[in-house]
């Protein structure tokens, strides 16, 4: 059985063809493409039509590779961003990028109408300036013609799925990232949205992951010379898909989905919303089978990626592997950053931003690439420890191990540093966690496997994992890191 997963990240996308023989799953990367946001005037957009073009190329290549024998298609992407359709189903402009400046100051304006604690009690979602709630409030505040003319709002994977099938629905895990879902009811919080004068008639039906939501339109099938392939609404939030593929997630283990963002958490049968999760800004996002992904969203390898981008522009390109190898030569624990500091949020000039942060906090300023990369990796590992300790207080038990999944699981220095910093066993892999989770839900929807437990057993049987154990005591470094965090909060 051959199943096609489209996995869109913030910087690239892939079409992955999964082949299931009844006992093992194998993956072939059929098509890879860049995802390049576009600045126009003062706005940053996703090039959604280019992304759909690449999706069609992926279907063409998969059909050629598989003899047109594709059983189903699933799509996952990043969260929060949306497209708006008019009454005729036409797209009203390119979707704005979550790093666009339009949401600056919107959280504070929302909280003047609905206090932050009430927003959190209703939704259980971590406060991030780019959440869909603030994107829509920004459009409403600006009296946007886009919002005035909108008939339907769709998240990015829902929009791409609509382009394939013509069906307009919102999948639960991606909708849960919006901060617009009532955590208790699992449906749109229309009372909250009404208070903010955000239109609710644009919100489509919320469906669960695992639904076959349609098939390729006749016109698209003719264009691509393929059959009307069924399209499954998988766990469309990429982290939701990644967590599905965690090979063994028992009651005392945590997961860390590592990529541009780092998402560290546990699976919970229901949302955990209290003073501590509010104070530590933990989020309760939707998971498969309406479970809850209780997690902390941490700035991940974005900082490293931006440094590489800056160095490439300077004419001194090096691979990610070469850069991490360099880091071993730098002095340990020379300087730390808070990866979640606002100064690292926007693109551009990342090495200088790191130097400026270290200078402002009275630390030695990293100069070389090796020093900067080591600073990033140590700081991320220590931030993971901080998040794990918060999580242990929230759930009331000790985390025994951490499963790192996604592209970041290939980063051996960060995996070892995370074991050292947290003093916990680390299991790294699978690397293609998001695509695997996407395909597992397709297999369940197509009745090839029974449930999530059977899917995770399939992952264990199909993909290799790597274990890291603590090798050094990082307690002193952690104390210094916490002091830097406290100093940042007081000074900046």
Give which of 402, 349, 388, 392 is closest to 372, Cα–Cα.
349
DSSP 302-340: HHHHHHHHHHHHTT----HHHHHHHHTTSPTTS----TT
Distances (CA, A) of 170 to 159, 160, 213, 418: 9, 11, 10, 36
**Partners of 257 in beta bridges:** 263, 405
Return all residues near 107 (Cβ < 8 A) that are at least 6 apart: 116, 127, 129, 134
H or E segment and range at residue 265: strand 261-268
Q: Which of 7, 81, 238, 341 is catalytic?
A: 238
**Ramachandran assignment for 67, one of left (phi > 0), alpha (psi -120 to 50 degrees), beta (any other):** left
Cα gap 420→156, rounded to integer Å = 37
**Ramachandran assignment for 124, one of left (phi > 0), alpha (psi -120 to 50 degrees), beta (any other):** left
Query: What SS3 class is residue 441?
Result: helix
238 is catalytic: yes
On the 0-12 / 13-18 / 19+ scale of CB atoms within 10 A, 89 is exposed
Residue found by looking up tokens 């998402």 in the block: 263
Alpha helices in 361-451 (DSSP H): 369-395, 412-422, 433-445
Distances (CA, A) of 73 to 111, 224, 406, 440, 465: 40, 14, 20, 12, 27
Residue found by looking up tokens 């994992």 in the block: 465
Cα gap 180→79, rounded to integer Å = 13
Return all residues near 285 (Cβ < 8 A) that are at least 6 apart: 79, 125, 173, 176, 177, 237, 239, 240, 292, 293, 295
Q: Do 17 and 84 meet the contact criterion of CB atoms below 8 Å apart?
A: no
Q: Which structure tokens are listed for 225?
A: 């010379």
Residues with a catalytic annotation lie at: 238
């Amino acid at each position: 059985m051959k199943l096609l997963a489209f996995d869109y990240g913030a910087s690239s996308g892939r079409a992955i063809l999964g082949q299931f023989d009844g006992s093992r799953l194998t993956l072939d990367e059929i098509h890879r493409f860049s995802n390049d946001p576009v600045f126009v005037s003062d706005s940053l957009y996703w090039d959604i039509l280019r992304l759909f073009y690449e999706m069609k190329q992926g279907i063409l290549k998969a059909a050629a590779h598989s003899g047109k024998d594709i059983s189903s298609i699933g799509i996952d992407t990043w969260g929060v961003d949306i497209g708006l359709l008019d009454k005729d189903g036409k797209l009203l402009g390119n979707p704005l990028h979550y790093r666009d400046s339009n949401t600056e100051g919107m959280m504070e304006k929302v909280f003047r109408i609905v206090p932050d604690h009430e927003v959190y009690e209703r939704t259980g979602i971590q406060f991030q300036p780019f959440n869909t709630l603030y994107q829509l409030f920004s459009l409403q505040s600006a009296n946007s013609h886009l919002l005035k003319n909108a008939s339907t709002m769709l998240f990015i994977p829902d929009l791409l799925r609509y382009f394939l099938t013509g069906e307009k629905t919102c999948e639960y895990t991606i909708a849960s990232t919006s901060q617009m879902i009532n955590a208790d009811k699992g449906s749109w919080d229309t009372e909250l949205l009404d208070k903010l004068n955000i239109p609710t008639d644009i919100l489509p039906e919320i469906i669960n992951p695992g639904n076959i939501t349609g098939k390729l339109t006749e016109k698209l099938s003719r264009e691509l010379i393929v059959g009307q392939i069924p399209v499954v609404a998988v766990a469309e939030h990429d982290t939701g898909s990644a967590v599905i593929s965690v090979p063994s997630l028992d009651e005392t283990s945590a997961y860390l989905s590592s990529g541009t963002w780092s998402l560290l958490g546990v699976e919970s049968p229901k949302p955990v919303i209290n003073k501590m999760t509010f104070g530590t800004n933990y989020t309760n996002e939707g998971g498969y089978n309406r479970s809850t992904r209780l997690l902390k969203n941490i700035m991940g390898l974005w900082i490293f990626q931006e440094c590489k981008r800056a160095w490439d522009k300077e004419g001194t390109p090096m691979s990610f592997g070469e850069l991490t190898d360099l880091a071993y030569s730098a002095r340990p624990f020379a300087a730390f950053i808070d990866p979640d500091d606002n100064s690292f949020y926007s693109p551009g000039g990342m090495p200088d931003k790191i130097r400026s942060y270290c200078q402002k906090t009275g630390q030695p300023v990293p100069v070389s690439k090796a020093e900067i990369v080591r600073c990033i990796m140590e700081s991320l590992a220590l931030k993971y420890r901080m998040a794990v300790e918060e999580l242990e207080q929230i759930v009331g038990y000790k985390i025994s191990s951490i499963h790192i999944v996604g592209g970041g699981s290939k980063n051996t220095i960060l995996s070892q540093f995370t074991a050292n910093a947290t003093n916990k066993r680390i299991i790294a892999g699978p690397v293609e966690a998001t695509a695997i989770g996407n395909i597992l839900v397709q297999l369940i929807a197509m009745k090839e496997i029974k449930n999530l437990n059977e899917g995770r057993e399939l992952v264990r049987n199909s993909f290799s994992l790597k274990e890291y154990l603590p090798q050094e005591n990082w307690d002193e470094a952690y104390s210094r890191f916490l002091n830097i965090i406290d100093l940042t909060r007081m000074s900046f």
